[in-house]
Amino acid sequence: MSFYVQYHNHDKEGLPLGETEDRLGIHTRLGHVENSKGGQVFLIFGIGSPRQFYLWDTFTVEAIERHPDDNFHAYGPGWFLRPPQRLEGQDFDAFKRSCANLIGFRKIDDLPYCETLIQLADDHRAGDEAAVRRFVQDLADLLTDDETAALEEHFARSGAGLRLRPLRALSIRQPHAEAIMRGVKKIEYRSAPTKIRGDIYIYASLGRYSAQEEAEMLADYGIDDVACDDLSRGVLVGTVELFDCDGGKWHVRNPVRLTKLPKPARHPQPVWFNPF
């Protein structure tokens, strides 16, 4: 088998998220890509200034299409690294120089760094939830909010069951938020249905009922070990799975209380908002 490298520049091309793992691919104008069928391609992603480089995905060239604009599309089955691996150091710098600073589609069989790429791709084929979380958080400073959300969705979709931090928070007043965290309240009543499913944050909003109303609600929920004034407010209190919706009845389960209660980085909204 022969090995090849292709570079993807974030500044010009955005995030490389458009393919599924049974159809990973690259585009190039270089005609020698037609000789790569059956070979393994490594996609290197560059972002930021100074530039950071990551081994992003790898695939075997199964088919090659030539488009009317003389742009070639080579694609085939492969996998996204979970998470992508930072490429740096003297060996990588020498590799870049040998590849004319990663310009164009190149065969790399004769370069020592090829073995490093093979090993990294093999070692990071399976998902590591904690490592993927750290990667997304580290890269978030270099991305727009929409790109960060897209990156999280990408890993949740391609990560064989990886559960990353939720993308959305739902604002709920106390003591309802506390009741959800205790598993006592299993339905959140809203005026309209929602298509959103999956894990969400519960944000205990700053809005308050009267002291008497809150005391009565706590009693109705059977919560007698905490006072209204001691309930957390203005913070994310935990996560819950929104798994079904029947009109205005939003069904939730699997509450997980956060050990640290962070304030959202973004301004909370009355219903949904992205807290980070």
- Where is 272: in which H helix or E strand? strand 272-273
Answering whether pTM is above 0.85, one says: no
Predicted pLDDT at 160: 44
Domain 169-273 falls under CATH 2.30.130.30: yes
- What is the tens place of the pLDDT at every residue in 131-154? 887 888 788 788 886 787 778 778
Q: What are phi and psi of 172, to 5 degrees?
A: -140, 135
Predicted pLDDT at 14: 92
Residues of the chain with CATH 2.30.130.30: 169-273
Predicted pLDDT at 158: 67
- What is the tens place of the pLDDT at every residue in 66-97? 988 878 999 999 999 999 999 999 999 999 99
Predicted pLDDT at 179: 98
Numbers of helices and strands, H then E, in the chain: 7, 14
Predicted pLDDT at 12: 92
Q: Which residues of the chain have pLDDT under 70?
A: 19, 145, 158-165
- CA separation, residue 120 to residues 42, 87, 197, 240 (Å): 10, 10, 34, 35
